[in-house]
């Protein structure tokens, strides 16, 4: 019975692993859709101009544009949006299957609460995807949709680690206290990712074009009155942003300052683990975080230096996700070791 239960646990763990890979793809496609200004490539949801795919024939385009005269069909943008939806829908079905199997095998010690939580977040993600379109790219909805994707990925990764029967090293007592600092690192990084989402959804990524903070005179342009209002004035659309230059400068500067704070904190945490750890496992974990951190900072600088090239901007999103996963791995390992 034990071997049979273990084999079934392996099946679920493999499903979770596939879901993690798919969630990474969805995060990448979401970033690509946002950065190619294709968030309204389809003006309705879940279809596209009333079709299950993108209208491409002359007849289909005529029908689509009669139904949505305010939004001419742009097939390239529409396909960006629909491909993202197809992958997100497939991920949702996989997560539904994981939740079902977890409930079915709960008597065998299978985690249940976490799979159900992930399923609940994915359902909410679908609603956010709909609101992104129906609320015309309202920044708070776009940012929440981004964070929901990251949260789904991170919780799937946590579930994958929980399903791992292997134990962590137990003789590294000197770094026991750093589990709380690693958890704080997750919160700081999460806040920075949220700031990145707010910067992107308000089209403020190219407002500051110089390093390290912004172009000269930026201090005099700071204004916090409307820069971080979650509920903006009502607009027909929020595409390409609704805030003025000073508000966008403020958002961008706060994101840059957040990046500096996050980098300093994570660099300190990495250094402490490398100095205090007695095992290769935790030293290697710290090195992985260091590699991801250096890559992320380099990509952030490249975004400014090269004026936000698409490949670099998308990579900035991917590496942010990988940095978070490496930090979650360290935090979980520190807590599991105890």
Q: What is the pLDDT of residue 165?
A: 73
pLDDT at 5 over 80: no
Domain residue ranges of the chain, discontinuous segments joined by +: 1-166, 169-338
Listed residue (281, 338, 332) closest to 161, CA to CA: 332
Q: What percent of the chain has pLDDT over 70?
A: 95
Q: What is the pLDDT of residue 110?
A: 80
Q: How confident is the model at residue 8 (pLDDT cuts 50, 70, 90)?
A: low
What are the tens digits of pLDDT across the range 12-63? 999 999 999 999 999 999 999 999 999 999 999 999 999 999 999 999 999 9
What are the tens digits of pLDDT across the range 197-231? 999 999 999 999 999 999 999 999 999 999 999 99
Catalytic positions: 81
pLDDT at 3 over 90: no
């Amino acid at each position: 019975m034990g071997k049979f239960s273990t084999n079934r646990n392996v099946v679920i763990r493999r499903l979770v692993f596939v879901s993690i890979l798919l969630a990474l793809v969805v995060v990448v496609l979401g970033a690509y859709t946002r950065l190619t200004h294709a968030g309204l490539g389809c003006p309705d949801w879940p279809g596209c101009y009333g079709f299950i795919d993108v209208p491409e024939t002359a007849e289909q385009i005529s029908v689509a544009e009669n139904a949505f005269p305010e939004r001419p069909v742009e097939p390239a943008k529409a396909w960006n949006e629909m491909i993202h939806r197809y992958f997100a829908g497939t991920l949702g079905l996989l997560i539904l299957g994981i939740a079902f199997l977890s409930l079915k095998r709960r008597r065998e010690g299978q985690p249940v609460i976490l799979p159900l939580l992930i399923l609940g977040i994915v359902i909410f993600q679908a609603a956010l995807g709909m609101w992104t379109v129906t609320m015309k790219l309202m920044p708070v909805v776009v940012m929440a949709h981004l964070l929901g994707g990251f949260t789904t990925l991170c919780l799937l990764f946590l579930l994958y680690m929980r399903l791992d029967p292997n134990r962590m090293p137990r003789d590294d007592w000197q770094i026991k206290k750093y589990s709380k600092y690693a958890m704080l690192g997750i919160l700081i990084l999460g806040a920075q990712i949220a700031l990145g989402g707010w910067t992107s959804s308000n089209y403020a990524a190219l407002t500051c074009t110089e390093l390290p903070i912004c172009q000269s005179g930026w201090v005099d342009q700071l204004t916090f009155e409307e820069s971080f209002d979650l509920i903006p004035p009502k607009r027909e659309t929020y595409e390409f942003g609704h805030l003025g230059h000073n508000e966008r400068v403020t958002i961008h500067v706060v994101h840059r300052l957040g990046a500096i704070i996050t980098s300093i904190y994570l660099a300190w945490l990495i250094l402490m683990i490398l100095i205090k750890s007695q095992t290769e496992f935790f030293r290697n974990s710290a090195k992985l975080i260091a590699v991801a951190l250096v890559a992320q900072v380099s990509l952030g600088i490249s975004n400014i230096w090269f004026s936000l090239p698409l490949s670099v901007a998308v990579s900035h999103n991917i590496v942010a996700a990988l940095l978070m996963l490496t930090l979650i791995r360290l935090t979980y390992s520190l807590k599991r070791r105890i």
